[in-house]
Structure 1
Amino acid sequence: MNKPLGVLAGIVVVAGALNTAGAWYTGTKLEGVLQTSIQQTNQELAKQLQGSTTHGTIELVTLDRHLYSSTAHYRLKIQDEASGPDAPPLELLFVDNIEHGPLPWSRIKTFKWMPVMAVSNYALEKTPFTEKWFAAAKDQAPLKGQVTLGYNRSVDGQMELLALEAKLDENSSISFSGLTMDAQADADGQNIKAKGYMDHLKINAASLDKPPVVVELNGLTLASDLNKSAYGFYLGQNVLELTEGQLTFGVAQSVAKIKNFEYAGSASANGSLLSGRLTYNVGDITLDGKPVGSAQMVMTASSLDIPAMQALLQIYQTKFQPQADGTLPQTPLTPAEQVLMQAQVEKLLAGNPQLALEKLTVKTANGESQFNVAVSLAKPASFELPPVEVTKQMLTTLDAKLLLSKPMIADLSAVQAQLVGQTDPQAVAKMASMNSEMAGVMAVQTGLAKVDGNNILASLNYAAGQVDLNGQKMSLEEFIAAMTTRFGGVAAQ
């Protein structure tokens, strides 16, 4: 054997010995790592499902250790209280073939030679509950994935839901292209990035006494970039994009379609104060092939005291959230809980929170309407003051503007007529015109708006106890008296 080949052989032998030692070490540490991971997962599940009627847990059923690999079996239990106290939990079983580090074969053959602790290859197992799901996926595991665990406890994972075609019953069916999801997380899941894609989903539901309903989704993308806050929940960005969605419904089997739907949500914290932004866009809406329009909405919030919101949420979940049967809890707030609630509301207001509907735009072929409103709040000196004085101190500023297009109202009235089966073009046009003009007349009669050409305009501004309604200035007391005069009599009739 020549010298280069001898050196190479020596390197291979040493590398193999190191890999064997590393694999043995990984195997001895594996069960503790799995149990810790499962415990953290169950804690996170409990946090995320808190306040809902659904509870979930995962457990390690068995672990068979070998030198280079191990096989684990897990059980996921999901219990929904809405199904009743005697309803059995939903159980899903998973098998996990775990390759020990530092150099698992699945990484070597794909030229990924960075040492890792383990590579997990998991898949849903076939049970009486999941056998129809397996059949729809041509007897393959319909849910599977791979997770790579680094020595720094970072995680790099891929999950796949396989394509399937299945009849749900005699009149209903589902067609699914499959979904892929990639995710990365550092130790203990403090930072998470994920991205997923689905090409197509179609659900056809029908019954003997109702018209069929067909839901279709095409081109769905999901993405998240999140960081766990000191308060136990995640901050960051979430994005959802849908290329096209379609709903077929009703006796006439009308087809409503949206294109280029986008949702973006972001949240951040400055100390104990939370800020967030939500954006919704619908690029195009049609009904039975006829254009309806487009829409956009942007909402923001800032300076929200996180501990106060969490305390108020806890009170809501225990005292006000509907129970599994839909009824409200019957136990009233105790005096101590009332004091706690008021203290948390005061703490929330002390942060001077700001809430805004920055933009609400609806655009049709012949018109565009816009609405926005922003509110700033503050803590009053006392809630024992007269209601008007509490309002003055608590409501720092309010600014709202409305532009309502009469042609847009006419366009949407025509869509409404189409939905109820009106087919006479002249009757539809007449009704649409009448509705748009009626909106202008009602706005002027109430005194809340004015008409300027084809637009209905309204503005409301409040600051320092003074109200400006469409250019008419008055005190808050005068404004309340005016609104009571205008609408109090109507409510009494």
Structure 2
Amino acid sequence: MNKPLGVLVGIVVIAGALNTAGAWYTGTKLEGVLQTSIQEANKELASQLQGTPTHGSVELVSLDRHLYSSTAHYRVKVEDDSARPDTEPVELLFVADIEHGPLPWSRLKTFKWMPVMATTTYALEKTPFTEKWFAAAKDQSPLQGQVTLSYNRSVEGRMEFLPLEVALDENSSLSFSGMTMEGTADADGQNLKGKGYMDHFKLHAVSLNKPQLLIELNGLTVASDLDKSEFGFFLGQNFLGLSESRITFGIRQSLLKVNNFEYTGSTSANGKLLSGRLDYKVGDVSLNNNPVGSAQLVLSASSLDIPAMQSMLQIYQTKFQPKADGALPASELTPAEQVQLQTSLDTLLAAKPQMAVEKLAVKTPHGESEFNLAMALAQPAALDQPPVEITKQLLTSLVAKLQLSKPMIADLAGVQAQLEGQTDPQTLAQVGTMTSDMVGNIAVGTGLAKVEGNNIVASLDYAAGQVDFNGQKMSLEDFITQMTQRFNAPIQ
């Protein structure tokens, strides 16, 4: 054996010995790490599901440990308190093949050389509860994935829902392309990042004496980047995008298409004050291949006192949250809960929260409408004041603007007429014109808006007890009196 080859063989032998020692060490520590992770997962589940009728838990059923690998069995259990008393909890069983670190073979063969504690490949097991799911996936495990646990206890993983083809009954069927999801989490689960993609989902439903329904969803993308706050919930960014959705429905089998739907949500905290923004966009809507329009809604809020909101939410969950049958709880607030609610409300208002409809816009082929609203609140000095004085102190400012396009109203009225079976173009145009004129007449007749060209416009600007309503300045008292008279008077 020449010298270079001898050195190489020596390195391989030493590396193998070190890996064996590392695998043995990992194996001795593995069960403790898994139990700790499961305890933390159950704690997090309980926290996130608090106040809901749903409860979940994860259990390590068994662990068969070997030198280089181990096999674990898990049980995931989900219960719903609002379900019927005879309803059995949902139980899912998983089997996991765990490769011990520091250098699992599945990572080495993909040129991932960073030492890790373990790499786990898991799969859902067949049970009486999941056997139909297995059949739809051609007898493969329909849910499987891989998780890598680093020595600092950070986690990265991949989850895959396999494609499904299933006949729901003689006439109904479901087709699912499958979905993949990837994510990472730090050691304490304080930062979570994830993304997922689904190519298509198709549901064809046919029931007795009802028109068939066809739902198609194509190109679903989800993504999150979240950090756990000191208050126990996650803040950050969420995104959901759907390239195309198609719904065929009704006796006439109308086809509704919605393209390029996007939802973006973001939340952040400055100390104990929460801010958030929600943005919904619909890129293109059509009915029976005729264009309908597009839309956008942007909502925002800031300076929301988090402990105060959590306190109020706790009362709502225990006293006011509807039951499974929709009925409200019969119990009333105790004196202590009344004090808690009032104190929380005072604290919330003392932070001077602000809320806004930054944009509500609808655009059709012949017109575009937009609405904006922003308001700021504050804590009244006392509640034993006249209602107008409380309003002045509670509502520190409000600005609202509306521009309603009459051609847009006509377009949407035509769409409604099409859904009701009207197809004649001249009739559709007449319906649209009559509807837009009627809306304009009502707005002018009530004094709530005015017509400028092809637009119905209205504005309201309030601050410091003074109101500017459609260009007319008045006190808050006069505005309230005027509105009362207008709504009680017949429309001219």
Do both share a fold (TM > 0.5)? Answer: yes
Quote the Cα distance in structure 2 between the aligned partners of 1:380 and 1:416. 46
Structure 1 partner of 2:433: 433
Quote the Cα distance in structure 1 between the aligned partners of 2:329 and 2:40. 31
Structure 2 partner of 1:215: 215
Quote the Cα distance in structure 2 between the aligned partners of 1:390 and 1:343. 17
Which range is displaced more, 469-478 or 167-176? 167-176
Which range is displaced more, 385-394 or 146-155? 385-394
Which range is displaced more, 368-377 or 204-213? 204-213
* Partner SS state of residue 295, structure 1: strand
Tell me which amino acid in the other structure corresponds to 2:293: G
* Partner SS state of residue 207, structure 1: coil
Structure 1 partner of 2:23: 23
Quote the Cα distance in structure 2 between the aligned partners of 1:490 and 1:188. 64
Tell me which amino acid in the other structure corresponds to 1:404: L
The answer as to 2:417 corresponding to 1:417 is yes
Structure 1 partner of 2:197: 197
Q: Deviations over 1:11-52 (max 9, x none)?
A: 111111111111111111111111111111112212222222
Q: Deviations over 1:340-396 (max 9, x none)?
A: 101001111111111000000000000000001001011111122221111100101
Tell me which amino acid in the other structure corresponds to 2:297: M
Tell me which amino acid in the other structure corresponds to 1:323: K
The answer as to 2:369 corresponding to 1:360 is no
Quote the Cα distance in structure 1 between the aligned partners of 2:441 and 2:258. 32
Quote the Cα distance in structure 1 between the aligned partners of 2:136 and 2:457. 56
Mark the CA change 1:467 to 1:110 in structure 2 (over 3 Å): closer, same or farther.
same
Quote the Cα distance in structure 2 between the aligned partners of 1:422 and 1:120. 59
Quote the Cα distance in structure 2 between the aligned partners of 1:312 and 1:204. 43
Quote the Cα distance in structure 1 between the aligned partners of 2:347 and 2:83. 38
Structure 1 partner of 2:333: 333
Tell me which amino acid in the other structure corresponds to 2:464: A
* 1:294 CA drift (Å): 0.3
Which range is displaced more, 418-427 or 395-404? 418-427
Structure 2 partner of 1:79: 79
* 1:81 CA drift (Å): 2.5
Tell me which amino acid in the other structure corresponds to 1:174: L
Structure 2 partner of 1:478: 478
Quote the Cα distance in structure 2 between the aligned partners of 1:15 and 1:72. 27
Structure 1 partner of 2:374: 374
Structure 1 partner of 2:389: 389
TM-score calculated relative to the size of structure 2: 0.98
* 1:426 CA drift (Å): 2.1
* 1:489 CA drift (Å): 5.3
The answer as to 2:186 corresponding to 1:186 is yes
Tell me which amino acid in the other structure corresponds to 1:431: V
* 1:135 CA drift (Å): 1.1
* 1:306 CA drift (Å): 0.6
Quote the Cα distance in structure 2 between the aligned partners of 1:99 and 1:217. 38
Structure 2 partner of 1:315: 315
Q: Deviations over 1:310-356 (max 9, x none)?
A: 11111111111101222110001111111110100111111111100
The answer as to 2:165 corresponding to 1:165 is yes
* 1:194 CA drift (Å): 0.6
Quote the Cα distance in structure 1 between the aligned partners of 2:49 and 2:171. 33
Structure 2 partner of 1:267: 267
Quote the Cα distance in structure 1 between the aligned partners of 2:383 and 2:73. 57
- Structure 2: segments with no counterpart, 5+ residues: none
Quote the Cα distance in structure 1 between the aligned partners of 2:11 and 2:373. 70
Structure 2 partner of 1:256: 256
Structure 1 partner of 2:230: 230
* Partner SS state of residue 310, structure 2: helix
Tell me which amino acid in the other structure corresponds to 1:122: Y
Structure 1 partner of 2:117: 117
Q: What stretches of structure 1 move > 4 A for 4+ residues in a row?
A: none
* 1:490 CA drift (Å): 6.7
* Partner SS state of residue 188, structure 2: helix
TM-score calculated relative to the size of structure 1: 0.98
Mark the CA change 1:83 to 1:209 in structure 2 (over 3 Å): closer, same or farther.
farther
Structure 2 partner of 1:146: 146
* 1:209 CA drift (Å): 2.2
Which range is displaced more, 266-275 or 54-63? 54-63
* 1:164 CA drift (Å): 1.2
Tell me which amino acid in the other structure corresponds to 2:465: G
- Structure 1: segments with no counterpart, 5+ residues: none
Q: CA RMSD in A?
A: 1.2
Structure 1 partner of 2:5: 5
Q: Deviations over 1:130-156 (max 9, x none)?
A: 111111111111100000000011111
Quote the Cα distance in structure 2 between the aligned partners of 1:94 and 1:319. 38
Quote the Cα distance in structure 2 between the aligned partners of 1:120 and 1:85. 37
Structure 1 partner of 2:50: 50
